[in-house]
Chain A
């Protein structure tokens, strides 16, 4: 068991998002968070990756309280949020170089290869603000090709990607899972990866019970 959440309570603008919410993520599975807009998917992911303290309850990373192992957790987790963290005035390569500095679990040596894999070969010297939305998304997602972190937390990773891009990322997720990694993601898209590895969690049902 990699990550466990116990008895999570979260309230936002006087509206209860989660109450008594528990879940766990095991090695080698994809947890797909489903829910309508405003059901708290992003809030949940931000809590899980340590970007929000606005909750009550306990989160465990490998059976230890998250607060006590934060720095180890940050090294073992990769988060790609709504905002991809790509700087417009830096080139794709400079952006990735900076990301490898921030996150030591990213492989510094294969940046060029990752850019080729996400289809940005030939664009590595272009400032990111002149790339299209989908291409900027690809720069952020190129981190997945460099990562050796066991847990990936992806918030709507397929936004703005074309069909080919989506299927490439799905293949990458399937490969990561087959190596024993785990993925928590939110998407409205039907994932085409082996069904037995996907575990959906529906936040709408959670709210009703």
Chain B
């Protein structure tokens, strides 16, 4: 456990020293939200109709944008090699990395999502649904993205491949996430959607660290 805390502390310190990494996904998220009405139609009734989908797609892409870097810098400076030949459990370290990634991408996205929702004239009852669905859905995006990141870390141009690997896994989260917001906007119960999002999260929380560790070993050792 103390190793997990030490790993978490290191990751948070690294993020704190690279503050631009935090701003990048957030800026992307906000830009999509600002540009979409300009490009399509500023009509409030239209925007409130597409809000749930657009906000969720923007959040998903913002997460995908930053997921590539989870293991990149550790691979480039040799830290990842040292982690692989450590006797300490690698899954703890990997989990600490994913948690940090989620904190700087998904968590902050969920926090600023009401602002974006306001720009899209999302009906007020849908706000809790939006925030909760993002809080439950984005950790899954980070976990699944980390699998793709670990698999492609040894490749020079992993960027395209990672989208191909990870996007199919993201689709269920997108469907249920956007569905939650839509149901919230129409005043329907959202518990069912949230239960599904939580189930996907628990499932990936159990299995993703194992897959990430295996993927890292494949990337480095072969």
Contacts and interface: CB of A to CB of B under 8 A. Distances in A.
B7 interface: yes
Contact of B83 (A52, A53, A89, A102): A102
B77 A85 contact: yes
Nearest to B14: A89
Interface of B: 3, 6-7, 10, 13-14, 17-18, 73, 76-79, 81-88, 220-222
A54 B76 CA distance: 20
Contacts of B220: 51
Interface of A: 49-54, 71-72, 74-75, 77, 79, 81-90, 94, 98-99, 101-104, 127
Nearest to A83: B78
A89 B18 contact: yes
B55 to A, nearest CB: 32
Contact of B81 (A75, A85, A98): A85
Contacts of B221: 51-54
A79 B10 CA distance: 21
Q: Helix, strand, loop or mixed for chain A's interface?
A: loop
Among B6, B13, B79, B222, chain A packs the most CB atoms within 10 A around the CB of B79
B87 A85 contact: no
Among B6, B10, B82, chain A packs the most CB atoms within 10 A around the CB of B82
Contacts of B77: 83-88
Contacts of A82: 78
Nearest to B86: A102
Contact of A101 (B6, B13, B73, B81): B6
B14 A74 contact: no
Contacts of B84: 50-51
B83 to A, nearest CB: 6
A79 B81 CA distance: 9
A89 B77 CA distance: 11
B14 A50 contact: no
B82 A102 contact: yes
A94 B79 CA distance: 13
A186 to B, nearest CB: 16
Contacts of B87: 71-72, 74-75, 103-104
Contacts of A50: 84-85
A77 B85 contact: yes
12 contacts: A51-B84, A52-B222, A53-B221, A72-B87, A79-B81, A85-B81, A85-B82, A90-B10, A90-B17, A101-B3, A102-B86, A103-B87
Contacts of B10: 90, 94, 98, 101
Given A53-B221, A54-B221, A104-B88, 13 more contacts: A53-B222, A54-B222, A79-B81, A81-B81, A83-B76, A83-B77, A85-B78, A88-B77, A94-B13, A99-B82, A101-B3, A101-B88, A103-B86
Nearest to B84: A51
B9 to A, nearest CB: 9
Contacts of B83: 102
A83 B79 CA distance: 8
Contacts of A85: 77-79, 81-82
